[in-house]
Structure 1
Amino acid sequence: MRKFSSYGPVDRDIHYHAPREELIESAYIQLVGEHPEKGGHYITVWAPRQAGKTWIMQQTLRRIREQGDFEVGIISMQSARKIGSEERILELFVRRLREWFERELPDIRTWDMLRSVFSEPFFSKPVILIIDEFDALREDFINSFANEFRDMHIMRKNETEKPSGEKSCLLHGLALIGVRSVLGIENVSGSPFNIQRSLRIPNLTYDEVGKMFGWYEKESGQKVEPDVVEKLFYETRGQPGLVSWFGELLTETYNKTPEKPVTMRHFDYAFRMAVKALPNNNIINIISKAKEEPCRETVLKFFRTDQKTGFAFDDPLLNFLYMNGVIDTEETDDDLYVRFSSPFVQKRLFNYFSRELFPEVGRVTELFEDLSDTLTTDGLHVGSLVRRYEKYLRKNRDWLLRDAPRRKDLRVFEAVYHFNLYEYLRRFLGNKNARVWPEFPTGNGTIDLIIDYEGTRYGLELKSYSDERAYRESLGQAARYGKSLGLSVIWLVVFVEHIPDEYRKKYETDHIDGETGVTVRPVFAATGG
Structure 2
Amino acid sequence: MRFFNTAGPANCEKHYCLSPLDRFDLDEIISLINQEKYFVLHAPRQTGKTTCLLALMDYLNKEGKYKCLYINVESAQGAREDVYRGIRAILNEMGLSERIYLDDPFVNKIWRDVLDKSGEDTALNEILTLWSEDSAKPVVLLIDEIDSLIGDTLISVLRQIRAGYHRRPKLFPQSIILCGVRDIRDYRIHSSREKTIITGGSAFNIKAESLRLGDFTKDEVNILYNQHTKETGQVFESESIDFAWKLTSGQPWLVNALGYEACFKIKEGRDRLKLITKLMIEQAKDNIILRRDTHIDQLMDKLREERVKRVVNPMLQGLDMEHASEDDIQYVLDLGLVCKSPQGLQIANRIYKEVIPRHLTVTTQYNLESRINPLWYIGLDGSIDMEKLLSAFQEFFREHSEHWIERFQYKEAVPQLLLQAFLQRIVNSGGRVEREYGLGRMRTDLLVIWRIQGSGGEQIQRVVIELKILYKSLETTIKEGLSQTAKYMDRCGTSDGHLIIFDRRENITWDEKIFQYTERYKDREIMVWGM
TM-score of the two chains, using structure 1 as the length reference:
0.81
Query: Are 1:249 and 2:261 matched, yes or no?
Result: yes
CA distance in 2, matches of 1:363, 1:170: 65
CA distance in 1, matches of 2:497, 2:336: 32
The structure 1 residue matched to 2:180, chosen from 174, 178, 181, is 178
Find the counterpart in structure 2 of residue 82 from structure 1.
Answer: 78
Find the counterpart in structure 1 of residue 317 from structure 2.
Answer: 304
Query: Are 1:61 and 2:57 matched, yes or no?
Result: yes
Matched to 2:172, the amino acid is L
- With over 3 angstroms needed to count, the CA separation of the structure-2 counterparts of 1:16 and 1:443, relative to structure 1, is farther
- With over 3 angstroms needed to count, the CA separation of the structure-2 counterparts of 1:271 and 1:460, relative to structure 1, is same
Q: Deviations along 1:370-392, whole A, 9 cap, x unmatched? A: x89x9587955534542332222
Find the counterpart in structure 1 of residue 492 from structure 2.
Answer: 485
Segment of structure 1 superposing worse, 229-238 or 107-116: 107-116
Q: Work out the percentage of aligned pairs sharing the same amino acid.
A: 21
Find the counterpart in structure 1 of residue 97 from structure 2.
Answer: 100
CA distance in 2, matches of 1:287, 1:230: 26
- With over 3 angstroms needed to count, the CA separation of the structure-2 counterparts of 1:149 and 1:227, relative to structure 1, is same
- With over 3 angstroms needed to count, the CA separation of the structure-2 counterparts of 1:440 and 1:428, relative to structure 1, is closer
Cα offset, 1:360, TM superposition: 1.9
Query: Are 1:192 and 2:203 matched, yes or no?
Result: yes
Matched to 1:324, the amino acid is L
Cα offset, 1:503, TM superposition: 10
- With over 3 angstroms needed to count, the CA separation of the structure-2 counterparts of 1:362 and 1:459, relative to structure 1, is same
Query: Are 1:91 and 2:88 matched, yes or no?
Result: yes
Find the counterpart in structure 1 of residue 279 from structure 2.
Answer: 265
Cα offset, 1:394, TM superposition: 1.8
What 5-or-longer segments of structure 1 have no aligned partner?
157-163, 407-411
Q: Deviations along 1:461-511, whole A, 9 cap, x unmatched? A: 323233366765544443343334322343232322368999998995222
CA distance in 2, matches of 1:385, 1:282: 34
Matched to 1:172, the amino acid is Q
The structure 1 residue matched to 2:422, chosen from 418, 421, 424, is 424
Find the counterpart in structure 2 of residue 393 from structure 1.
Answer: 397
Query: Are 1:463 and 2:484 matched, yes or no?
Result: no
Cα offset, 1:283, TM superposition: 0.5
Find the counterpart in structure 2 of residue 238 from structure 1.
Answer: 250
Matched to 2:299, the amino acid is I
Q: Is the 8 A contact 2:20 2:55 kept in 1?
A: no
TM-score of the two chains, using structure 2 as the length reference:
0.81
- With over 3 angstroms needed to count, the CA separation of the structure-2 counterparts of 1:217 and 1:135, relative to structure 1, is same
The structure 1 residue matched to 2:435, chosen from 434, 437, 440, is 440
Find the counterpart in structure 1 of residue 304 from structure 2.
Answer: 291
Query: Are 1:355 and 2:350 matched, yes or no?
Result: no
What 5-or-longer segments of structure 2 have no aligned partner?
99-104, 189-196, 453-458
CA distance in 1, matches of 2:430, 2:501: 22
Q: Deviations along 1:257-291, whole A, 9 cap, x unmatched? A: 32021112222222222222x24111110122213
The structure 2 residue matched to 1:116, chosen from 110, 126, 133, is 126
CA distance in 1, matches of 2:366, 2:516: 36
Find the counterpart in structure 1 of residue 2 from structure 2.
Answer: 2
Q: Is the 8 A contact 2:33 2:175 kept in 1?
A: no
Q: Deviations along 1:371-418, whole A, 9 cap, x unmatched? A: 89x958795553454233222222334544454457xxxxx52x2222
CA distance in 1, matches of 2:407, 2:512: 33
Q: Is the 8 A contact 1:129 1:175 kept in 2?
A: yes
- With over 3 angstroms needed to count, the CA separation of the structure-2 counterparts of 1:271 and 1:207, relative to structure 1, is same
Q: Is the 8 A contact 2:486 2:521 kept in 1?
A: no
CA distance in 1, matches of 2:227, 2:284: 21
Q: Is the 8 A contact 1:77 1:136 kept in 2?
A: yes
The secondary structure found in structure 2 opposite 1:125 is coil
CA distance in 2, matches of 1:427, 1:80: 44
Q: Is the 8 A contact 1:130 1:176 kept in 2?
A: yes
- With over 3 angstroms needed to count, the CA separation of the structure-2 counterparts of 1:274 and 1:477, relative to structure 1, is farther
Matched to 2:276, the amino acid is V
Find the counterpart in structure 1 of residue 192 from structure 2.
Answer: none
- With over 3 angstroms needed to count, the CA separation of the structure-2 counterparts of 1:340 and 1:34, relative to structure 1, is closer
- With over 3 angstroms needed to count, the CA separation of the structure-2 counterparts of 1:183 and 1:475, relative to structure 1, is farther
Q: Deviations along 1:57-105, whole A, 9 cap, x unmatched? A: 1111111111111111001111111114222222222222222332133
The secondary structure found in structure 2 opposite 1:438 is strand
Q: Deviations along 1:21-55, whole A, 9 cap, x unmatched? A: 444443x643x43583xx42111111111011111
Query: Are 1:210 and 2:222 matched, yes or no?
Result: yes
Cα RMSD after superposing both structures: 3.4
Cα offset, 1:233, TM superposition: 1.3
The secondary structure found in structure 2 opposite 1:17 is coil
Q: Deviations along 1:345-369, whole A, 9 cap, x unmatched? A: 2222221222224532487689xx9
The secondary structure found in structure 2 opposite 1:523 is strand
Matched to 1:464, the amino acid is I
- With over 3 angstroms needed to count, the CA separation of the structure-2 counterparts of 1:504 and 1:155, relative to structure 1, is same
Query: Are 1:71 and 2:71 matched, yes or no?
Result: no
CA distance in 1, matches of 2:13, 2:504: 59
Segment of structure 1 superposing worse, 58-67 or 119-128: 119-128
- With over 3 angstroms needed to count, the CA separation of the structure-2 counterparts of 1:324 and 1:249, relative to structure 1, is same
CA distance in 2, matches of 1:462, 1:205: 33
Matched to 2:185, the amino acid is L
Matched to 1:270, the amino acid is A
The secondary structure found in structure 2 opposite 1:82 is helix
Find the counterpart in structure 2 of residue 133 from structure 1.
Answer: 145
- With over 3 angstroms needed to count, the CA separation of the structure-2 counterparts of 1:29 and 1:105, relative to structure 1, is farther
- With over 3 angstroms needed to count, the CA separation of the structure-2 counterparts of 1:56 and 1:178, relative to structure 1, is same
